[in-house]
Structure 1
Amino acid sequence: MDPDIAAAPIATDGGWGWIALSGVFMIGTFLAGYLKSVGVLMVQWQIEYGVGAQEVSWIGIALGFVTCTGAVIASALSSRFGSRIIVIIGCFVVAITLLLGSFTCQLWQLYVTNLLTGLGIALGYLPSLVSVGFYFDKKVGLANGIGFSGSGFGLIVVPPILQLLVEYFGWRTALRILAGSSLLPCLCGFLIKPTEKEIFWMTKEKKQRKKSLLQENGREVVEPVLPSDDTTKPNSAIKDSQVMSKRIKKVLYSCLKCGGFHLLIENKIFIFIILTFVWTSFGSFGSTIYFNARAVFDVGLTQLEASYLISAIGLGNLLGRVGHGIFLDRNFMTPLGMYSLTSVISAISIICYPFLDNFWTLLSCALIFGLTNGPYPSLQVMVLRDMLSPGDVSGGFGVVLFFNGFAMVTGVLIMSFLFDTSGSYDLSFFVAGISLFISGFLLFLLLIQKKLKRASGIEAIPDEDDEINQQEATTTEFITANESQEVTKQNVTCDVTKSRESSV
């Protein structure tokens, strides 16, 4: 086992953690609730500006894309400065940008304000979710489920309230009311106190940065000064280029590690997991956005009735995220197996959605889709916790959301393009369902492979392998450094001797 993990403080599994968890729940209610309820406003923008679905879809694309890709920035900042301050700043940015969005008079201005809103959601939402792991250990499945269910509760509450505000006051006043309400998550951010476990990993990373900086400065001081003879210039140039290349590689690796991208180099399974997560994001985000639009334009429901479908998805998210946490804590299923099962059921519900044409069947389909598709963000964190050390979970989740952002953009663009070319959302939902099925199938193959390896006794213990590899890498670097220093000393000695002999 990694000695750093063994030395890390143990989470309390209660106490102030439940208060902080309530704050995380409220943050998800407001921030993720707006993120997944933007489809209500997209219908209004499409009618007011007289544009097609593809033009308006760029607003949802900008919002979802920046929310996911900005998770890398949020992960790096929260690892260095702590979760609380980043959450407060992010929620404040959301409030300001929503207020600015209410004063826009052209469509491109909504693109800009939603880009900034997405960045604020990334800064406010991701660090709050990661902070749950610093409060809970044995009950982390249930705690993650409750924390992530805030977005599901937001889907229940925000769409009908937003629709009523739009009908009574217009979408501009509705955005201003949302901007004022977004100040509440700022107050909830103060509930997320730094724990001993979070401080431990922050201090560990800070010491590593200082250690690498001191080593770099030490090498520069110890670096020998070669004589200025012409025969030494080629060797000096080669050595300088080698030292410079090593420094460049070290700087690049530090940048990758700051954002969590070093895991793509060190962990091959992590790449495969990201591939499966990308297929999930490709189909789920666009389906949630266009669930409302298909009910209005294809089926003929009223906008208020269509908003109830989004609320049904939110209710399913709420129940699914809390329920899956209970299942995981009691070891009924592994996170990998549950992710595969829920992805397949979610795919079936989305493929069946185009065949439904009345309110109650659409409502039932929305509930099933939310119940099975809602837990996937929390399950992604649980899968990463089984793969990575606690200090790398935040960075790994940031990388996952980064690639999920590109998948969301691609999914929404393809679904809107299929609607504009065919005049119906049916084909769009077929494509989304197939992508969800691919995700579940790939994870099922990975689960079967793991079980076969365990049965045959081939699979090694990850902690021991990681520790051995780390020790071997450290030993190799140490030997290489010593050898290079000895070679440098020998070259300097030979050059000095030659210069003395020539002078004599």
Structure 2
Amino acid sequence: MAKGARVRSSSPPDGGWGWMIVAGCFLVTICTRAVTRCISIFFVEFQTYFTQDYAQTAWIHSIVDCVTMLCGLGFALCYSPAIAMVGKYFSRRKALAYGIAMSGSGIGTFILAPVVQLLIEQFSWRGALLILGGFVLNLCVCGALMRPITLQEDQTTPEQNHIGRTQKPDFQRVSPCSTLTKKWVQTCLCCSLQQEYSFLLMSDFVVLAISVLFMAYGCSPLFVYLVPYALSVGVSHQQAAFLMSILGVIDIIGNITFGWLTDRRCLKNYRYVCYLFAVGLDGLCYLCLPMLQSLPLLVPFSCTFGYFDGAYVTLIPVVTAEIVGTTSLSSALGVVYFLHAVPYLVSPPIAGWLVDTTGSYTVAFLLCGFSMIFSSVLLGFARLVKKMKKTQLRFLAKEPDPKLQLWTNGSAAYSVARELDHRDEQSVALTVPGPSPT
């Protein structure tokens, strides 16, 4: 896109062309995440045609999800940038904007699940995949909607601009092969990367990254094995596809309503807790799934799991932005979605291996449930420890004893208790008389 089309703004506009960005991200999530989820409907077809077990067939879905989150290939070139653009255009209504944008995954699943089943019945799985491929070409339209925006926090200072203008002619005079030029470029690149990815050293982000690994491990297998599990307990093909549709439409409700609720004043400061709540409840749903062996019982499960799945998916960018800020949001989201890759790659095959080994889905679903619950508990425990440390520092700062006073300089706190103790000892030594000579 031409440089003249770049929008400059002192703060996120929270509207205007931002709603077109939301619409573009909405279409991107339909063409990427919804299509990926519908591969679950192809699972039985693949398994029958290639005569493979659960573990081998699961690699198809795993590789699609892994490449999307791991590389700069395929869906990844659309998914992560579209989500980051929404964060650039919205601040006050960020959760709502993300809720609408991410609901594309749910509404896409709701529409595509029965359609894909019909396409398979009419054109076989090969023809259905070709039609889906043509549908995914709409990503080109989504990319045309993404208009770059430059915020005040992204702009360089006048001093930096002046230095850049003065150094540019000198840079042009120096030979490109010059050793000095190469070192200067390398230094600039290293400094830029260090500043861009400084959030990797933040303890809060490290804990979030670890929890994402467990959460991603738990959430992926359901979209692979829900249809096969439903078929194994006597549900028909159309009814199994209907379960995916229910999960998708409730996912939409979770995206939008949870985004709207967490934008309210009463919950705006508790988005982190809401995220933990949603992830934990999805884990509990997993633990109940092996006991649900009929369509009337699987429908409420799809509703509950779908709602909270949409809820925490909406809050992932919001929680990440609270930790790292909007300046590094794009890079941080790239890292967060990158961390989804390995669990997405290994969890469906592991679950398939457990199904092949045990002859049931119980162990696979229980492992996924406990993984999501552990993810939620880990983040909650880390937040609790951080609050306890803050409370302790505030308590020490309010102590009247000068030995317990703390001076804060940036992020480091310096205690002067030892120095005061040393001074007290010196004063006592001066006031106490020594032994009299005999």
TM-score normalised by the shorter chain: which range applies?
Answer: 0.7 to 0.9
Name the SS for the 1:329 alignment partner.
Answer: coil
Identify the match of residue 278 of structure 2 among 334, 342, 345.
342
1:304 corresponds in structure 2 to: 238
CA distance 1:357–1:187, change in 2 (3 Å) = same
1:360 corresponds in structure 2 to: 296
- Alpha-carbon distance, 1:389 to partner: 2.6
What does the per-residue CA deviation read over 1:169-190, in whole Å, with 9 as the maximum and x for residues that have no partner? Answer: 1111111211221222321321
2:17 corresponds in structure 1 to: 16
The 8 Å contact of residues 197 and 328 in structure 2, kept in 1 or not, is answered as: no
1:330 corresponds in structure 2 to: 264
What does the per-residue CA deviation read over 1:456-490, in whole Å, with 9 as the maximum and x for residues that have no partner? Answer: 4549xxxxxx99479xxxxxxxxxxxxxxxxxxxx
Task: Answer with 248-257 or 279-288: which moved more.
Answer: 248-257
CA distance 1:424–1:467, change in 2 (3 Å) = farther
Please show how residues 378-457 of structure 1 align to structure 2 within 5 Å.
Answer: 378-457=314-393
Is 1:163 the equivalent of 2:99? no
- AA aligned to 2:36 is L
Unaligned runs of 5+ in 1: 1-6, 74-118, 222-239, 460-465, 471-504
- AA aligned to 2:211 is T
What does the per-residue CA deviation read over 1:52-97, in whole Å, with 9 as the maximum and x for residues that have no partner? Answer: 1111111111101111112xx4xxxxxxxxxxxxxxxxxxxxxxxx
Is 1:33 the equivalent of 2:34? yes
The 8 Å contact of residues 61 and 412 in structure 1, kept in 2 or not, is answered as: yes
CA distance in 2, matches of 1:342, 1:389: 23
CA distance in 1, matches of 2:111, 2:370: 30
The 8 Å contact of residues 207 and 379 in structure 2, kept in 1 or not, is answered as: no
CA distance in 2, matches of 1:397, 1:449: 25
2:146 corresponds in structure 1 to: 192
CA distance in 1, matches of 2:109, 2:237: 15
- AA aligned to 2:154 is W
- Alpha-carbon distance, 1:202 to partner: 7.8
The 8 Å contact of residues 253 and 262 in structure 1, kept in 2 or not, is answered as: no
The 8 Å contact of residues 55 and 356 in structure 2, kept in 1 or not, is answered as: yes
- AA aligned to 1:177 is I
CA distance in 2, matches of 1:151, 1:417: 28
CA distance in 2, matches of 1:467, 1:164: 65
| CA RMSD after TM alignment | 3.3
2:85 corresponds in structure 1 to: 131
CA distance in 2, matches of 1:314, 1:457: 46
CA distance in 1, matches of 2:353, 2:199: 35
The 8 Å contact of residues 43 and 224 in structure 2, kept in 1 or not, is answered as: no
- Alpha-carbon distance, 1:31 to partner: 1.5
2:228 corresponds in structure 1 to: 293
CA distance in 1, matches of 2:343, 2:22: 29
Name the SS for the 1:387 alignment partner.
Answer: helix
- Alpha-carbon distance, 1:419 to partner: 0.8
Please show how residues 481-496 of structure 1 align to structure 2 within 5 Å.
Answer: none
- Alpha-carbon distance, 1:339 to partner: 1.1
Identity of aligned residues (%): 27
CA distance in 2, matches of 1:131, 1:163: 34
- AA aligned to 1:33 is A
Is 1:65 the equivalent of 2:18? no
What does the per-residue CA deviation read over 1:177-227, in whole Å, with 9 as the maximum and x for residues that have no partner? Answer: 112212223213212222233x973878xx79x96xx69x99xx9xxxxxx
Instruction: Count residues in correspondence.
Output: 382
1:231 corresponds in structure 2 to: none
The 8 Å contact of residues 337 and 447 in structure 1, kept in 2 or not, is answered as: no
The 8 Å contact of residues 381 and 397 in structure 1, kept in 2 or not, is answered as: yes
The 8 Å contact of residues 337 and 443 in structure 1, kept in 2 or not, is answered as: no
Name the SS for the 1:196 alignment partner.
Answer: strand
- Alpha-carbon distance, 1:348 to partner: 1.0
CA distance in 2, matches of 1:467, 1:173: 65
What does the per-residue CA deviation read over 1:272-314, in whole Å, with 9 as the maximum and x for residues that have no partner? Answer: 1101111110100112221112111x31212221111111221
1:268 corresponds in structure 2 to: 203
What does the per-residue CA deviation read over 1:295-352, in whole Å, with 9 as the maximum and x for residues that have no partner? Answer: 11x3121222111111122122111111111122113332210111111111111110
CA distance in 1, matches of 2:36, 2:78: 12
- AA aligned to 1:43 is V
CA distance in 1, matches of 2:194, 2:108: 34
The 8 Å contact of residues 336 and 447 in structure 1, kept in 2 or not, is answered as: no
Identify the match of residue 318 of structure 1 among 239, 249, 252.
252
CA distance in 1, matches of 2:292, 2:63: 30
- Alpha-carbon distance, 1:13 to partner: 1.2
- Alpha-carbon distance, 1:248 to partner: 7.6
Is 1:153 the equivalent of 2:154? no
- Alpha-carbon distance, 1:45 to partner: 0.8
Identify the match of residue 144 of structure 1 among 95, 98, 115.
98
What does the per-residue CA deviation read over 1:89-120, in whole Å, with 9 as the maximum and x for residues that have no partner? Answer: xxxxxxxxxxxxxxxxxxxxxxxxxxxxxx32
The 8 Å contact of residues 282 and 435 in structure 1, kept in 2 or not, is answered as: yes
CA distance in 2, matches of 1:300, 1:129: 39
CA distance in 2, matches of 1:20, 1:247: 34
The 8 Å contact of residues 207 and 382 in structure 2, kept in 1 or not, is answered as: no
- Alpha-carbon distance, 1:375 to partner: 2.5
The 8 Å contact of residues 347 and 432 in structure 1, kept in 2 or not, is answered as: yes
